[in-house]
Each structure stands twice: as structure tokens, then as C-alpha cells.
Amino acid sequence: MSLKKYIGNLFVMTRAEKNGAMVLVVILIIVMIVRFLIPYLINDNENYIQDIELKIASLEEQKDIRQNTSQSNISKVEAGKSNHTSYKEVEHKNPEIEIEYFKFDPNTVGLTEMQKLGFSNKVANTLLNFRQKGARFYSKTDILKVYGFDTVFYNKIEPYIEIKKIKQVEYQHKKITTKPKISIEINTADSALLTNLPGIGPVFARRICKFRDYLGGFVKVDQLKEVYNLKDETYQSIKDYLIIDSTQVRKININFAEINDLKRHPYCNYKIARKIVNYRSEKGSFQTITQLKEDSILLEIDYNKLSPYLAIK
């Protein structure tokens, strides 16, 4: 038998074999298409996830507010009325008072002044009660903590809100700055306790706790700047209230941790995790954490952020 004829016989297939080959080709094409489309079908954008979390947290906050609403307000909701008073409704609460906009400080503004600004009597009295309990407004958005305060109305008066900074007081001819009366250990505080901080409502309190659990605990107060959408002015207003117990930080044992254990930490990506595990496989167990920097496994900037969360046991 000639070589050409022998090779030709190798490619002779029965009808069933041809059908099987066609099915296999179709399956391979589908697998390739799906593999190509996966990055576009799965959205791992961190901002998208955080936006969803923000919406969920906002819904939870609204649920908490509704649970604290009196039966009379609930009946109004069931009748089709909104829980929040619209700006137009606020204006018509006091038809005899002409609306007038002017600069004001929510920490000192009086009832008559609030009525001129368009506050409803109910919201104005709620704000006064809020202050009488010792609460203070540290940022413009803090005024939204007053129950019944309408966001549409807030947008109208926001340009006129002026919050004076806490003044320095003189005592025995020496100037001292007023200091916070409370201290909160941030690694053990729950979300309810965190809402006592100026500018921190239920949404941000839950977000701080979630980020803390993701990290394994805070080692520095300024890590709060990494909390999603936390403004610098809010951070500046709360940092002096916070203390840190570093013994509460959860650490990763780099002599036993696998790649997935390491890359789960927000400061450690897959590339860093792979380098740590490969080094351990080649050189043996780590003797000190500083080997990561000394042997160029980690850049100094990565080492400074990640090393407080690593341990050798």
C-alpha cells in the first residue's frame, strides 16, 4: 500500500464519526465565544458594587426611620402621603410669613428665624430639641439628621448654611482648644456607637464597619480616608474622637497562608500573593516579616501598608 493511500485511509470517517466531529466543533466554538464574552458579562467594577451597597444601605436607613415613625404618621403614609415634607408644603405651613433667605448657623438659629427661612414648625421644633439634647452640627449635611427634614428644601437653603468652627477658649491666660468629650475604640465599636460621631449616620457607620472587617482591623486612624465616599471634612471632624487598639487587628500567617488567603486582603493582590508563596516554596519558611522587604518580594510602599497585617507563628 502506498504512503499516500495509507494517509488517505486515516481520514476516512463513518457518518456517525462525521456527526460527532461536527458536534465537537460546535461545542468548541461556543466555549470560545463564552470565554471571550465573560469579561464583558461580569462587571467587577468596584465603584459599581459600592454604588449598589450605598443604595441598599440607604434603603435600610429609610426602613429604620419608618420603624420609629408614630402611628399617626404611618396612617398618613398609607393614605398616600410622603414621609418627607416637600418644599412647597413647608412654605405653605406658615402662609402669613414671607420666605426670606439669609445666612444662618443651625447650632444657634432661633425658631422665628427658621420660620422665615421656610422651616415647618414641626421640623424647627425637632431641630431645637436635637440641640437641647447636646447634639451639634459639624457639617452642612448633619442637618439632614433632623427627622422630617426634606432634601429638596435642604438644596434650597444649603448655600446659606454657615457653621462656625469651635472657638478656642481662654483659661488662666492660656489658649486651649476644646477637645472631644468621647473616645471611641474603632476596632471594637459597632455601627450604633459610630453614629455618635459628627457627620456619621447609619450608612457611613455600616460602611466603616464593613471596611474594617475587610481589612482585619484599623492600624492607623487615617485609613478611614479609604472608606468609600467619606469626605475629608468629615474625616477631620471625627479623627480626634478615635483611638485604636492594635491587639484587635486580625493577622495572616505568611508561613501557612495560600494565595487565595493572601489576595483576599485589600492591600495584597494576586501578583504579591504569588511572589510570597513562591518565595516560601523555594527558600523555606519566613523567619521575619522584614524578609519581604529585604529580599525585594515587596516594594517599600506595599510593605508599609501590608506588613501590619502579617505574622509569623
Domain boundary among 224, 248, 272: 248
Report the number of distinct structural domains present in the chain.
Answer: 4
Write the pLDDT tens digit of every residue in 75-89: 444 444 444 444 344
Residue 229 domain flag:
yes
The pLDDT assigned to 119 comes to 87
Residue 169 domain flag:
no
Residue 143 domain flag:
yes
The verdict on 89 and 131 lying in the same domain is yes
Residue 171 domain flag:
no
User: What is the distance between the alpha carbons of residues 106 and 84, in angstroms, rounded to a whole number?
Assistant: 20
Report residue 290 as a C-alpha cell: 522584614
The verdict on 227 and 273 lying in the same domain is no
Write the pLDDT tens digit of every residue in 277-301: 999 999 999 999 999 999 999 999 9
The residue among 170, 142, 171, 145 whose CA lies nearest residue 64 is 145
CA-based torsion, 267, 236, 205, 119: positive or negative: negative
- Whichever domain contains 216, its CATH number is 1.10.150.310
The verdict on 304 and 265 lying in the same domain is yes
Report residue 162 as a C-alpha cell: 454657615
The verdict on 300 and 265 lying in the same domain is yes
Residue 175 domain flag:
no
CB environment 262-296: b (16+ within 10 A), e (fewer): bbebebbeeebbebbbebbeeeeebeebebbbeee
Per-residue pLDDT 10s for the chain (313 aa) are 565 555 555 556 677 777 888 888 888 888 888 777 765 555 444 444 545 555 555 555 555 555 555 444 444 444 444 444 443 443 444 555 678 888 889 888 888 888 888 888 888 888 887 787 677 888 888 888 787 787 888 888 889 988 887 544 333 434 434 444 578 999 999 999 999 999 999 999 999 999 999 999 999 999 999 999 999 999 999 999 999 998 999 999 999 999 999 999 999 999 999 999 999 999 999 999 999 999 999 999 999 999 999 998 7
Report residue 28 as a C-alpha cell: 468548541
Residue 170 domain flag:
no
Domain that holds residue 203: 184-248
pTM given for the model: 0.44
